[in-house]
Each structure stands twice: as structure tokens, then as C-alpha cells.
Amino acid sequence: MSVPAIEIKQLTLSFSKYVALDNINLSIEENSFITIVGPNGAGKSTLLKVILGIITPTIGEVLLYGKPLQSISPKDIGYVPQIKTLDRTFPALPIELVATGIKGSWIGRLNKSEYKKALEALEQVGAKHLERRPLNKLSGGELQRVYLARAVVREPKLLILDEPATGIDYIGETDIYKIIDEYQNTKGATVLMVTHDWDAAYHHADFILLMNRSLICFEKPDKAFSEACLRQTFGHVGHKHDMLFGEHSHD
């Protein structure tokens, strides 16, 4: 039996009396594509940050490939943060941002091999032409591609994405998911992605995790979007459910 890519045991995160994550237990197999879905404030991004070690949990532990996070090389994890957190006043070029994925630090001057590798990663995500365009001049979709290049350049075993297609047009969104799917298939990586897009979650994930501070359902897509799971997570089913599964699906 293979070791789970991610194993979360009795994880609770609280700030004073506010419980952001409540007793989460979860095991994610290697080479699977998991999407996390839940309402705003459900703790989805917070859960990713705990897995990444940015936030320390109050109780519980996270194991990656059977080991504590500190025993895993940071290069085994590729992370695509929400682009809305980006400081657009920072003077930087896409090639430099991708290079942070290679070095794990900001690089003043790239050597030939770093430059070549970063350029290849940009090409992989269809953003080679953006190489030297300042970050503050990139559109949301272009920026997402650059962040994705930064994550895949280190060829991680685990790819963690926080709303990687937010604010992108339909074509751009399809491209992003195609790149993620291709990466997972060619590298055998495990993908963990937060999204508000039920459609993307339904069509790309092997399993969907519905949460609202605690874990509510962790099922295959058709079961995860059942009326019971959705009501428990969101308080209602929503019109998107009808769009995806037909108006009478919850009869």
C-alpha cells in the first residue's frame, strides 16, 4: 500500500475563540487530482497554507509522503497562490519570478542554465513571449500562467493551487486547466486545487473535498455534488448545481 501524498490528522486551527479549521482528518493518495470547494470564509486557502507550513495549526499534524513537512524538500512542492495577493508595485520580470521556483530565493542575476530552465517553463505554460514584460503590465490570466510556470519549473511531486483560474476568460481558464492536467499526467503528480468553479472541479478532479471550516464531504465528483453535501456546505444547492446536473437532479 502506497503512502498517502497528504495525510492530515485531527487538524484544528483557532484564533482565540474563532475556529478557522475544525478537526480535519484527510488522506489523499498519490497521483490524484483533488479540488477543494466551499463558500467564502470556509478555510480553503487557510487549509492550503497549513499544508504548506505558512500557518502552524493549533492542534494536529500534516504529513506529506508520510513525513512531517520539514523533512520534505520545498522543491517537491509547487505552489500557485491567489494572484490578488501580488504586490504589483514590485519591480520584477516573469523570468525572475519563475527563477524563484528554481532557487527558492530571489535571484539577482540568472546564469545560463537557470535562464534556459525558466524560459522552458514559461514556454510550457504558453507564456514565453512574456519573459521580459514587467509583472505590473501583465493581465490576470498572463500572471496566472507565470505563477504556474514558477510552480512547475521545479517539477514538484505535489502541486498546490489556490484559485488558479480566477478572473480569467473562458479560453484562458481552459488552457490553465489543460496545463495542470498535462502536468499531472506526465509527471504523476498529486494536485490539490482550491476553486470556486464547480464546473472545473467536476470535470478535472478525481475527488472533491467540500468544506466549511470542517470537512463535510470527500467524494468522487458525482457524489460530492449531491444535494446533501452541497446543502451542508453552502446552506443551499445553488443554481450552478442545476446548470451542471439539470434542474431535476435533486428530486
Q: Does 17 bind other proteins (CB under 8 A)?
A: no
E strand or H helix at 45: helix 44-52
**Rounded-to-integer distance, Cα 10 and Cα 46, Å:** 15
Q: How far is the CB of 11 from other proteins (least distance, A)?
A: 18
Dihedral angle computed from the Cα positions of residues 215, 221, 223 and 229, in that order, rounded to the nearest 10 degrees: 40
Grid cell, residue 126, equals 504558453
Tell me: does residue 53 bind other proteins (CB under 8 A). yes
Give the residue, chosen from 81, 94, 141, 172, that forms a contact with other proteins under the rule CB under 8 A.
81
d(CA 234, CA 171): 28
Q: Which of 3, 14, 41, 54 binds other proteins (CB under 8 A)?
A: 54
Q: Could you give the angle at the alpha carbon of 162 between the alpha carbons of 227 and 17, nearest 5°? A: 75
Interface residues for other proteins in 168-227 (CB under 8 A)?
none
Q: Which uninterrupted H or E stretch holds 181?
A: helix 170-187
Measured from the CB of residue 52, what is the shortest distance to other proteins in angstroms?
A: 5
Choose between 73 and 185: whose C-beta lies nearer to other proteins. Answer: 73
Nearest-approach distance from CB 134 to other proteins, in angstroms: 5
**Could you tell me how many residues of this chain bind other proteins (CB under 8 A)?**
29
Q: Which of 1, 2, 18, 87 binds other proteins (CB under 8 A)?
A: 87
List the one residue out of 100, 104, 151 whose CA is nearest residue 125: 151
From the CB of 61, what's the least distance to other proteins, in Å? 18
The verdict on 107 binding other proteins (CB under 8 A) reads yes
Q: Which is nearer to other proteins, 134 or 188 (CB)?
A: 134
Per CB under 8 A, 52 contacts other proteins:
yes
Residue 70 or 113: which CB sits closer to other proteins? 70
> Residue 217's beta-bridge partner residues?
210
Decide: is 56 part of the binding site for other proteins (CB under 8 A). Answer: no
Residue from the set 1, 17, 109, 186 that interacts with other proteins by CB under 8 A: 109
Q: Which stretch binds other proteins (CB under 8 A): 47-55, 118-126, 164-172, 176-184?
A: 47-55
Q: Is the dihedral of CA 117, 123, 127, 131 positive or negative?
A: positive
- Please give the C-alpha separations between residue 202 and each of 27, 192, 216, 219, in angstroms, as whole numbers: 20, 14, 17, 11
Distance CA 64, CA 60 (A): 14
Side by side, the strands of the sheet bearing 207-212 are 77-80, 158-162, 190-194, 33-37, 207-212, 214-219
Contacts with other proteins, residue ranges (CB under 8 A): 49, 52-54, 70, 74, 77, 79, 81, 85-87, 89-93, 96-97, 100, 103-109, 132, 134
